[in-house]
Structure 1
Amino acid sequence: MSARELITDHLDLWTGAVTQKRSSGRGTNGKIELTGIKKLRELILELAVRGKLVEQDPDDEPASVLLERIADEKAWLVKEGKIKKPKKLPEIAEEEMYFELPSGWQWERLDHLFAIVTDGDHQAPPKSEAGIPFLVISNINKGYLDFSECRRVPDNYYDQLDWTKKPKKGDILYTVTGSYGIPVKVNENLGFCVQRHVAILKASPSTPTPFLKVVLSSPYAKRIADSIATGIAQKTVPLTGLRKLTFALPPVEEQHRIVDKVDELMALCDRLEQQVGDQLEAHEVLVDTLLDALTRSTDAAEVAESWARIAEHFDTLFTTEASIDKLKQAILQLAVMGQLVEQDPDDEPASELLERIAEEKARLVKQGKLKKPKAISAPQAEDIPFQVPNNWKWCRLECLALHSASGWSPQCNNTPRIGDEWGVLKVSAVSWGSFNSDENKALPASLMPRPELEVKPNDFLISRANTAELVARSAVVPEDVPKNLMMSDKIVRFVFSDRVNAFYINLFNNSKISRDYYSRVAGGTSSSMKNVSRKQVQDLLVPLPPEKEQQRIVEKVDDLMALCDHLKTRLNEAGETRTQLAEAVVEQAVS
């Protein structure tokens, strides 16, 4: 099977195998990786370095002749005093010959293919506002030379560098530290130098750099680099190991055919990526349009009509994690707009519920159990984002709370508590929509706990400081919460009347309406740390349903979210299956 047939015969597999990229925290960041096309690129390179991408020609000059020319050129450099006589490297052992060679090919070590394998200057260079570009790993690890934001060194520093430290056209740069294993071919004589974490593979006149760039980009080379990399926190490929890497070298004419074929097939992969990317973008626009129409519906008839359009194409609409996450947000929005469950005319209206809560608070004030609250400003018409059903009522969050308070942040141990020891909750305990008691730090034995800050079942906890995405995220403390866990000062607790369903408030707090509010009022100068005050949380406008309807909404949302999670699981399983099939095709092709 030819390489082009390998692509076209499995086209659905290459374009259909996609995976969701993970963010640094829980969940995903909405970005998709085209795993199938990535595997296809790797397969093309793997076939290239094994001599399985193009046909061999018995009339080609064998690789041994090319190796003799390179050896003669290195010997001349040694004679001229331009490089030191290289140390003799060990003969290539049988276990270093990783596959059977085609006719005319020959195994050789990397050091014998270049004039010299070295790296950048080991001394920290002087800085300069202008002058010669000085490239570091970040200027190379994208796979090309990036001069846009590079450091500079004085001209006289560059002038005194040995010629081997100055990359020239035809050389290959190779990252050896951190993001190691990335080769970049130098295509122009630009005049620049590099840091010590970048290897410089200086080409001699006969060095086949286009083909060697292909080899160094391949999974084959990456596997070998992985096997010789040293270090723990930051891995490094030592130059001594890099020089000993063994590669299979084809005849010169075949090298040209391989490079041309790789370029042709990579261009085909580019087109496939563009096509899949366009399809995914169109899919995203369609999902957004239909869900937007659903959430903008003004009555039950419009909701039914919009949902019918979605249901008709459900299997083709919700095929990515991002689209399912958008469906979840649409469910939340319908829930808090009173369009997810039917209203019951026999339910006590929310206006009476608010009166009962006010009476309860007045009674507790009279009994000395609460301080007299400050007057709460009524919602203004211009602040109300949408109309709610007749038996609902807009109110401030503070109207529903009996009281609220922040926690305490003493200097804690860096480890979680053990057993029933006292611990202080981190903001990550409430950042993901559900309460996580494991996210805590142990209170030192030298400090006395503050029992009044211990969280209790049904407490509504909200973070007042976090990233822009996570600030003001909330959770409800469950009935089975472990004892002796206190709030930190970055967590605010609201205790609601028993007539208020804290889980309804939690799902509203995680809806787009609330998130838009917090994005407007949150303080902080960077997205990495935003904060909201307790007063800003108290002022959040809440669409309050009757007490019984709150429970029906929470139950319906729980059911629908479980269905969405099940859909995600099936989607991930299908994605994993397609990825495994792609890997199986790759393995079969190279074996």
Structure 2
Amino acid sequence: MKDWKKVKLGTLLTESKVLSEKPSTDKRLRVKLNVLGVEKRPVTKDKKGATKYYTRKAGQFVYGKQNLHKGAFGIVPDELDGFESSLDIPAFDIDKSCYPEWIFYFFKKGDFYLKLETLAKGVGSKRIHPKQIFELDIFLPSKEEQRKVLDEIEKTEASNQELVLEIESQEEYLTKLRQSILQDAVQGKLTKEWRVQNPTVEPASELLKKIKAEKEQLVKEKKIKKEKPLPKITKDEIPFGIPESWEWCRMGSTGNAMTSPFVDGPFGSSINTKRDYIESGVPVLRMMNVKPYRFKDDSMKYISEEKYQSFLRHNVIAGDILFSKVGAGIGEACIVPDTFTYGMLSTTGISRFRVGEIIVNEYLCHFINGHIALFKSLAKSSAQPFLNMTQIKSVLIPLPPLKEQKAIVQKVNQILANCDALEQEIKASKTNAEKLMQSVLSELLGEENNVLVNKPTTNKELKKPSREIKYNSKTLLMDLVKLLKENGKLHAEDLWKMSKFPNDIDAFYAELKKQIEEENAIKEVANEKGYLELA
């Protein structure tokens, strides 16, 4: 390795710009994130515009300008020879002195691609351009030496892949184990001995009778409205046998009679994501906050107390069950933790369920997560599958006596805690396997010690002497959206200086990218380079 010469990457790569004569949406390629390779892009309708597409050849190196630092790079495989991409996915012919795989592992070793984020530049959508990677140093031994190293890497990767497959099979087994535990729990198998030790516990049938009588009394006193009766349970519906002290009931009959047990988020555009979200205030819960068994409290959005008051029907408190009913997460449920004060649902994509006196919230949550496949099978098929409230309320639940529910929850939680510990061990094994592979790559390929320096964008690219400068100290350190509301369109440099990040341009660009690409709150002004306005 000491004798290997070091060259600029640009001496090995030549950007290919062979214009496609007959562009076809059926022959587009894309580069997957996390170094997962190049694949055919799903067929989509072309947007109207002047986008040009270029023919790509097998063996070319390609990368995504916006996502190179996220692992979007690879070698065009033989089966995608002749496919196309725009200049946002540039392709490069590789010099005869270098194997394509040598370029690929150059970016992969030591997760070097992650460090390239510092090179990304631009307003809003930051990109890494070919000229920037051309300046990177790369070791270039003889092709014979390259082949020896690549053969060694391939052997190590094959062994590593076997290890990864074994770890993934363990993950799959653990998922099935969790499902099996929850199935056993709601069939009474986990508390068989408990029932022998507690023969005098009041059966669930008596509890249902009391709740029914209480509801009828509340209706009579006009404290609650009379509900539409749920369908009667037939023998054909019952999926499995349950202990004698248990009863079958429908999910819709287990809620709190004094509140609305099932509530969806507000429909449509009742909450304006651009106008109503603020930096702090009343939490707004979204689908991304709901994960099986756990409430995910990061990426929280907020609205004002005044706005919240107009959505009180959709409120959420500690102890409520949140249930996903749209898209890939259908059937996933979690309990809002005790640390949560109050908030509201954001959309109809999640429902809130507030339990009554006949059921423990953790028992119901375990039942839901143990029957995700059931809820998915009930979902109506469309562009995005969904469940309606009638379907959810009609789902059958095996109802144990209240004391037994608590015993079940205690036992399930203990077993799931062991599963969680096992999951952490599996994740650690996976991380170690990845580190081992990276260590081998670094050892075999060497380290060029590239110094990644992005040229300043605040002078030539952002600063235009002839433009009107709107920067003023009265609006210093403000939210980007608020700045544009008060000042109208602004040049990127002014927006940066007036923002909360006057001394951190990377943080500014990160927030700007989020507002443009995720929140759709800000956009670039058409035909005015460098200027931004509200979307």
Interval of TM-score (by shorter of Structure 1 and Structure 2)? 0.5 to 0.7
Is 1:449 aligned to residue 310 of structure 2? yes
Q: Aligned partners of 1:327 and 1:452: how far apart in 2?
A: 38
5+ residue gaps, structure 1: 1-49, 51-99, 153-157, 285-319
Quote the sequence identity (%). Answer: 22
Secondary structure, counterpart of 2:293 in structure 1: coil
Q: Which residue of 1 aligns with 2:357?
A: 498
Q: Which residue of 2 aligns with 1:406?
A: 263
Report the CA distance between 1:480 and its aligned residue: 5.1
Q: Which residue of 1 aligns with 2:379?
A: 522
Q: Which residue of 1 aligns with 2:532?
A: none
Q: Aligned partners of 2:89 and 2:387: how far apart in 1?
A: 45
5+ residue gaps, structure 2: 47-51, 448-535
* Higher mean displacement: 323-332 or 239-248: 239-248
Q: Aligned partners of 1:455 and 1:330: how far apart in 2?
A: 30
What's the Cα RMSD here? 4.5
Report the CA distance between 1:508 and its aligned residue: 0.9
Q: Which residue of 1 aligns with 2:475?
A: none
Q: Aligned partners of 2:394 and 2:432: how far apart in 1?
A: 48
Q: Aligned partners of 1:363 and 1:588: how far apart in 2?
A: 77
Q: Aligned partners of 2:200 and 2:337: how far apart in 1?
A: 30
Q: Aligned partners of 2:354 and 2:117: how far apart in 1?
A: 57
Query: Deviations for 1:287-325, whole angstroms, at most 9, x for unmatched residues?
Result: xxxxxxxxxxxxxxxxxxxxxxxxxxxxxxxxx333333
Q: Aligned partners of 2:389 and 2:407: how far apart in 1?
A: 29
Is 1:230 aligned to residue 90 of structure 2? no
Q: Which residue of 2 aligns with 1:555?
A: 410
Q: Aligned partners of 1:443 and 1:509: how far apart in 2?
A: 32
Do 1:328 and 1:561's aligned partners in 2 also have CA atoms closer than 8 Å? yes
Q: Aligned partners of 2:366 and 2:429: how far apart in 1?
A: 30
Q: Which residue of 2 aligns with 1:569?
A: 424
Do 1:139 and 1:150's aligned partners in 2 also have CA atoms closer than 8 Å? no
Change (3 A) 1:556 1:336: same
Do 1:435 and 1:478's aligned partners in 2 also have CA atoms closer than 8 Å? yes
Q: Within 5 Å, give how 1:118-137 maps onto structure 2.
A: 118-120=15-17, 127-128=22-23, 137=30
The structure whose Rg is larger is 1
Secondary structure, counterpart of 1:530 in structure 2: coil
Q: Which amino acid aligns with 2:206?
A: E
Secondary structure, counterpart of 1:543 in structure 2: strand
Secondary structure, counterpart of 2:385 in structure 1: strand
Query: Deviations for 1:221-278, whole angstroms, at most 9, x for unmatched residues?
Result: 874993884326655443434544444444xxx423532x245435534653675477
Q: Which residue of 1 aligns with 2:244?
A: 390
Change (3 A) 1:269 1:349: same
Counterpart of 2:293 (choices 424, 429, 433) is 433
Change (3 A) 1:368 1:445: closer
Do 1:460 and 1:495's aligned partners in 2 also have CA atoms closer than 8 Å? yes
Q: Aligned partners of 1:239 and 1:397: how far apart in 2?
A: 58
Secondary structure, counterpart of 2:420 in structure 1: helix
Query: Deviations for 1:541-581, whole angstroms, at most 9, x for unmatched residues?
Result: 01010111011111111222222222323443454456556
Aligned residue pair count: 420
Report the CA distance between 1:363 and its aligned residue: 1.6
Q: Aligned partners of 1:185 and 1:525: how far apart in 2?
A: 34
Is 1:511 aligned to residue 378 of structure 2? no
Do 1:460 and 1:474's aligned partners in 2 also have CA atoms closer than 8 Å? yes
Q: Which residue of 1 aligns with 2:87?
A: 196
Q: Which residue of 2 aligns with 1:358?
A: 212
Q: Aligned partners of 2:236 and 2:327: how far apart in 1?
A: 29
Q: Which residue of 1 aligns with 2:400?
A: 545
Report the CA distance between 1:388 and its aligned residue: 0.5
Q: Aligned partners of 2:301 and 2:39: how far apart in 1?
A: 45
Counterpart of 2:131 (choices 240, 265, 268) is 240
Change (3 A) 1:533 1:185: closer
Q: Within 5 Å, give how 1:81-92 maps onto structure 2.
A: none
Secondary structure, counterpart of 2:323 in structure 1: strand
Q: Which amino acid aligns with 2:263?
A: S
Q: Aligned partners of 1:516 and 1:128: how far apart in 2?
A: 41
* Higher mean displacement: 376-385 or 215-224: 215-224
Change (3 A) 1:584 1:376: closer
Q: Which residue of 1 aligns with 2:146?
A: 258
Q: Which amino acid aligns with 1:230?
A: A
Counterpart of 1:466 (choices 296, 314, 326) is 326
Is 1:218 aligned to residue 73 of structure 2? no
Change (3 A) 1:138 1:503: closer
Q: Which residue of 1 aligns with 2:470?
A: none
Report the CA distance between 1:501 and its aligned residue: 1.6
Q: Which amino acid aligns with 2:362?
A: F
Do 2:61 and 2:92's aligned partners in 1 also have CA atoms closer than 8 Å? yes
Structure 2 length-normalised TM: 0.64
Do 1:471 and 1:531's aligned partners in 2 also have CA atoms closer than 8 Å? yes
Q: Aligned partners of 2:347 and 2:413: how far apart in 1?
A: 29
